[in-house]
Amino acid sequence: MLFALPALAGLLMFVAIPFLLAIGLAFTNLRLGSPLPLEFVGLTQFLRLFADDAFARALLNNLLFTLVVVPVQTLLALALALLLNQPLKGRALFRTLFFMPVVFPLALVSVVWILIYAPGPNGMLNSFLQLITLGEWQPRDFLHDPWLALPAIMLTSIWQGAGFQMVILLAGLQSIPEELYEAARIDGAGRWQRFWYITLPQLRNTLVFVMLVTTILAFRLFEQVQIMTRGGPRHATTTIMYEAVQAAFSRQQVARGAAITVIFFLLVLLVTLLQRRIAREERL
Amino acid sequence: MASVTYKQISKRFADGTTALADFNLQVNDGELMVLVGPSGCGKSTALRLLAGLESVSNGELLINDAVINDLTPQQRNIAMVFQNYALYPHMSVRRNLAFPLRMLKLPPEEIARRIAWAAELLQLTELLERMPKQLSGGQRQRVAMGRAIVREPRVFLMDEPLSNLDAKLRVRIRTEISALQRHLKITTLYVTHDQVEAMTLGQRVAVMNSGRLQQVAVPQLLYERPANIFVAGFIGSPGMNVFASRLQKQASALAFEFAGQWLEVPRNQRFNPEMLAPYVDQPVYVGLRPEAFEPTGSSEAQVELTLTAVEALGHEQLLYFDLSQVSAPNMIVRLQGSSAFTIGDKIPLALHTTELYLFDKMGKAIYTRAEKEKR
Ligand SMILES: Nc1ncnc2c1ncn2[C@@H]1O[C@H](COP(=O)(O)OP(=O)(O)OP(=O)(O)O)[C@@H](O)[C@H]1O
Ligand SMILES: [Mg+2]
């Protein structure tokens, strides 16, 4: 107990206190530089948030982002992991290549993708699409198009995140005993059946974990938005985190920012509990 | 109903290891054949080739005279019990048993019927809803057996299925496997490194060493007429003592050298000494089983040897003597009961030379009389 004290103190100072402070602030009217006195205003901040179109759009965007990115990225990572789990030449090289985006800072990745999405026929993606459609493609300004901006950010995020999931799934795949596959082959299972009846159930907890982490990261979506679109055009790519940072740091509405953070926390908590429910059933 | 043939099979792994060389073996329909040999001799490889888990480098594998080299495991209809059972950990016992049947796309009623049959036969009925983790070692073993028999395979393979069980349970399940196999009459290849298991279970036993087949015979014949020094030393507990020796013609008879003495070669069901002429004055090996010695009074003793160690097993004793063999540092003598000996003493021993075996300089056994017709 005694030896845990420093750790507990650290936890209290750097996690619990700021967090409780945030909860406390969410029920006030604190705004930096405001002449109004600090007051307890109850649920006012929350009520205002739910009446706000930008915040509603942020919630919707996060939801869309999660619904698309989590399954697509997980499937992509699973496919890559399955591919790289085969005994093929240059496997180590491919693993490194696919993992590389993970180690690049998100800011750098975002800047690179701004170049890729550059408007006009000289933009990388535009000229590529023109090439493969034999000139049919009309160049777009992806990051300023209300319909394409969010998908563009999704694509960047998937490209950046899949490698990390792949590495975890690969470790999961490699921990499945070879003997199970041999038994299944002898029992008459073909390739697809082995995947369905051995690989997937054996990988289940790893998959749930990977999806949980990706979901939380999806809710935290911020850097790409900040750098690539600044939430625009017209809130088309705004997110919960982006709204929180905007409120607290651009508009000095600390209380509003705190309220958003509390909502964010509750959402993440909900996802985590859900994941634990799913993973606990049929634990091996 | 199936017979199995290994026809000049060899197996080289990618790293150059030769696990099987020129391996020929015929398993008859409904027979329980045991493959036995020391660790690394290629027993598992022989099974895995037949199951289709490894590919054959050379030679032909046949089931009922049809070559199966190129069939996938799914197409061979062979069942296998693995050493660690390889039960599907995420499936209940029932689903484990159902798995091979579902792969065959059998109708649900048929699946249920066969599971009920196998569960009844192996006393698994109470355990059907459990997960493998919730079973004891012996129960898991039975589930693995069940999963193998439900599909009524052509051939049944077992790779050391009892090695993870304690000694008592091993003996019990051994008897059960034997009974089950006789009941189902499925052609079975059973791998073990335990020669006692091989001798008690096998209808015939194939002894292997470093990827080569040494001898295939009924258990009794392996013991009575080992084909070479390896089989002689491997079968029996402990195996035969084998010494480098010579044969010499003496006044009345042929004699062999043992521990500095010249002893007479007997005339018995194995030897007709007149026919040993080609080996006279040649280096040979002599073999004497641990049962062929007896401590006696010094007047009848043929040799006196120094005792170096004693292992008491209760009903019998193993005495280690200071006389080096071809491939072991000590000669071993087995005695019934227990008597007190002092380590370091010179013990006078009588030999039952009627139990003598001879091997030529290549290690091949020499018999100058044909074996008696059995059965
Ligand atoms: N995949 C492989 N690659 C290379 N060498 C292998 C492979 N599998 C087995 N071997 C080698 O082949 C030889 C025979 O192996 P095998 O597993 O058949 O032995 P075994 O008789 O079953 O031994 P044990 O009683 O220890 O199970 C050994 O020398 C082993 O090292
Ligand atoms: Mg083996």
pLDDT digits (tens, 9 = 90+) for B320-370: 998 888 888 889 999 887 778 888 888 888 888 888 999 998 989 998 888
Q: Which residues of B touch A (CB under 8 A)?
A: 51-53, 72-74, 78-80, 82, 84, 86, 88-91, 99-100, 103-104, 133, 147, 151
- Point out the least confidently predicted range of A88-92, A110-114, A213-217, B201-205: A88-92
Alpha carbon nearest to ligand 1 atom 24, residue: B39
Cα-Cα-Cα-Cα dihedral sign, residues A263, A265, A268, A270: negative
What does DSSP assign to residue B364? B
* Residue-level pLDDT at B375: 43
Task: Evaluate if residue B247 carries a pLDDT over 80.
Answer: yes
- Which residue has tokens 């590495």? A167
* Residue-level pLDDT at A281: 58
Contacts of B147 in chain A (CB under 8 A): 187
Contacts of B133 in chain A (CB under 8 A): 284
The residue-averaged pLDDT of B46-64 equals 93
How distant is the Cα of A278 from the closest Cα of chain B, in angstroms? 15
How distant is the Cα of B175 from the closest Cα of chain A, in angstroms? 25
* Own/partner long-range contacts of A81-86 (Cβ < 8 Å, ≥24 apart): A81/A166, A81/A169, A81/A170, A81/A172, A81/A173, A82/A173, A82/A195, A82/A199, A84/A166, A84/A170, A85/A170, A85/A173, A85/A174
Given a contact cutoff of 8 angstroms between Cβ atoms, the answer to whether B239 and B212 are in contact is no
User: Domain A5-283 maps to which CATH number in 3.40.50.20, 1.10.10.10, 1.10.3720.10, 3.40.50.1100?
Assistant: 1.10.3720.10
Residue B44 alpha carbon to ligand 1 centre in Å: 7
Given a contact cutoff of 8 angstroms between Cβ atoms, the answer to whether A166 and A80 are in contact is yes
The residue-averaged pLDDT of B294-303 equals 78
What does DSSP assign to residue B260? T
Higher pLDDT, B318 or B369: B318
Q: How many CB atoms lie within 10 A of CB B199?
A: 19
The residue-averaged pLDDT of A90-110 equals 79
Task: Write out A12-58 in H/E/C secondary structure.
Answer: HHHHHHHHHHHHHHHCECCCCCCCCCCCECCCHHHHHHHHCHHHHHH
Pick B103's closest partner by Cβ from A187, A282, A284: A187
CB contact under 8 A, A190 and B84: no
Alpha carbon nearest to ligand 1 atom 17, residue: B44
Q: Which residues of A touch B (CB under 8 A)?
A: 177, 179-180, 182-190, 193, 197-198, 201-202, 204, 282, 284
The residue-averaged pLDDT of A130-150 equals 80
From A180, which residue of chain B is nearest by alpha-carbon distance?
Answer: B86
B265 pLDDT band, cuts 50/70/90, is confident
All structural domains of chain A with their residue ranges: 5-283
Higher pLDDT, A94 or B46: B46
Q: Residues enclosing ligand 1, CB less than 6 A?
A: B 13, 15, 17, 19, 37, 39-45, 193
User: Domain B4-227 maps to which CATH number in 2.30.30.830, 3.80.10.10, 3.40.50.300, 3.40.190.10?
Assistant: 3.40.50.300
Q: What letters, b where the CB count within 10 A reaches 16 and e where it falls short, cover B66-89? A: eebeeeebbebbbbbbbbebbbbb
All structural domains of chain B with their residue ranges: 4-227, 233-374
Residue ranges in B60-166 assigned as alpha helix (H): 73-76, 93-103, 108-121, 137-149
- How many alpha carbons lie under 13 Å from residue B346 in its C-beta half-sphere? 7
As for the ipTM of the complex, it is 0.84
CB contact under 8 A, B74 and A185: yes
**Test mutation, B71, B72, B74, chain A, max A CBs within 10 A:** B74
Report the nearest atom of ligand 1 relative to the CA of B37. 21
Task: Evaluate if residue A61 carries a pLDDT over 80.
Answer: yes
Residue B81 alpha carbon to ligand 1 centre in Å: 17
User: Domain B233-374 maps to which CATH number in 3.40.640.10, 3.90.550.10, 3.90.1150.10, 2.40.50.140?
Assistant: 2.40.50.140
pTM of the model: 0.83
Pick A186's closest partner by Cβ from B51, B84, B133: B51
What is the rounded average pLDDT for all residues in chain A? 83
Alpha carbon nearest to ligand 1 atom 11, residue: B19
Alpha carbon nearest to ligand 1 atom 3, residue: B13
